A = this chain, B = another copy of it.
Amino acid sequence: MKTVNVGICGLGTVGSGVVNVMQRNIAAITSRANCGLAITHVGARRDNPNCDVSDIKVSRDVFAVVKDPNVDIVVELIGGYEPAKQLVMQAIANGKHVVTANKALIAVHGNEIFAAAESRGVTVTFEAAVAGGIPIIKAIREGLSANSIEWLAGIINGTGNFILTEMRDKGREFADVLADAQRLGYAEADPTFDVEGIDAAHKLVILASLAFGMPLNFEACFTQGIADLSPQDVIFAGELGYSIKHLGIARRAEHGVELRVHPTLIPQRRLIANVDGVMNAVLVKGDAVGPTLYYGPGAGSEPTASAIVADVIDTARMLDVDRDCRVPHLAFSPDAVRPLPILPIEQISSAYYLRLTAVDKPGVLSQITQILSDAGISIEAVSQKEAQHEPDSSQSGQMVPIVLITDITVESNLRAAVGRIESLSSITDSVTFIRVESLT
């Protein structure tokens, strides 16, 4: 029986998880891979007390691993763009297969990396790059391969979902919850990637390319974070039967592909609306299968290691097979991967939640509904809330929040109508609008 040697670059949270999982389950892993598997070289700037690498060669320079002629598979876990890209490209050039958890690297440099791997006859796998331990890449790339994927929508950032869950359950402000999440270790000291949706966009771009057979196109993804969400919107959405989730959505529309990350109202009765805390879930709609959903932990040492080691097993089992026997990097054979137009956000179609603050006097609601009607936008629900009691408000000049849910319209049309509503003298603040998806 052949033995396949694995080199690991990076020994942080995920790296130690990979070492621990492989050591603990090695008998079963060997049997599943149909070959021997051994971690023979670890590259890490420092030791990690959470795993035992005493029987493994350790180098302080990660590049020593990709230069090691005895290493067959390089596991890249250093994260970020550089030197991760350089490391992966060198591994490929040296004829090594690569397994990576690096979503930023794949989303931004994946096209170049896959081309290099294809011409060198090796594979780069990245199951751990999206939704941690959930085998979502395998599901889309192989499990649903009979389908034309119509759309997918995912909760693919655990930190953001934890914050939204806390805001909903405890009526707390975004900034408060974020501070807690940082204290608990759920959020990074610099939470930009998580709360601004960049991390989710990296993952969405990868899923969309696999689903639609198009090159990775991170720049084209519309990205809106959750920092501006108010607890008021979370409460009002709940009263209307919706949960607000930070979703990545990719949809094949008539004139192009929608690719967008933003807070989204989802009907509470949908399964994905009930995915709470740090958990991830991706809903995928295929033309043959219909809707399917994949749920699990989106981060963490061993959940991520679960995906990494599964890629290692797949790669080891097929180490030397002909290139055509492997699953293509982006699900479709490279010559069939073609750019598709990505729609600017103004051209997407969605339903909308609108919250506006109006002077409480007769005729205001009618002016608003007239503007929407003139724009051809139907109203699905409208609710005028209790007046906000401000100390200096006189009875006649009280401000009241009005909440509306519209039918589906093109976003440019909605934005124009919102502009006209904002110009009404009875509307004081800017209008909040949040996209609404039925996900059916």
Contacts and interface: CB of A to CB of B under 8 A. Distances in A.
Q: Give the copy number.
A: 2
Contacts of A300: 290
A29 interface: yes
Contacts of A293: 293-296
A109 interface: no
Contact of A21 (B133, B134, B146): B146
A143 B148 contact: no
A143 B24 CA distance: 18
A142 interface: yes
A31 interface: yes
A313 B275 CA distance: 32
Q: How large is the interface on A (under 10, 10 to 19, 20 to 34, 35 or more residues)?
A: 35 or more
A135 B146 contact: no
Interface string A287-322: 111111111110010110111111011100110011
A145 interface: yes
A327 B292 CA distance: 24
Contacts of A143: 127, 135, 138-139, 307, 310
B148 A28 contact: yes
A306 B289 contact: yes
A213 interface: yes
Contact of A332 (B17, B32, B148, B327): B32
Interface in A385-400: none
A34 interface: yes
A322 B321 CA distance: 8
Contact of A146 (B25, B147, B327): B25
Contact of A292 (B133, B275, B314): B133
A328 B32 contact: yes
B145 A310 contact: yes
A340 interface: no
Nearest to A22: B146
A233 to B, nearest CB: 24
A375 interface: no
Given A134-B292, A271-B274, A271-B295, A34 B146 contact: no
Contacts of A127: 143
B274 A288 contact: no
A324 interface: yes
Contacts of A28: 148, 213, 332, 336
A286 B302 CA distance: 10
Contact of A318 (B22, B25, B287, B325): B325
Contacts of A133: 286, 288-290, 292
5 contacts: A31-B328, A31-B332, A32-B331, A138-B142, A143-B310
Given A32-B332, A135-B144, A317-B324, 12 more contacts: A27-B336, A28-B213, A28-B332, A28-B336, A133-B292, A138-B138, A271-B295, A288-B302, A289-B306, A289-B307, A317-B325, A325-B325
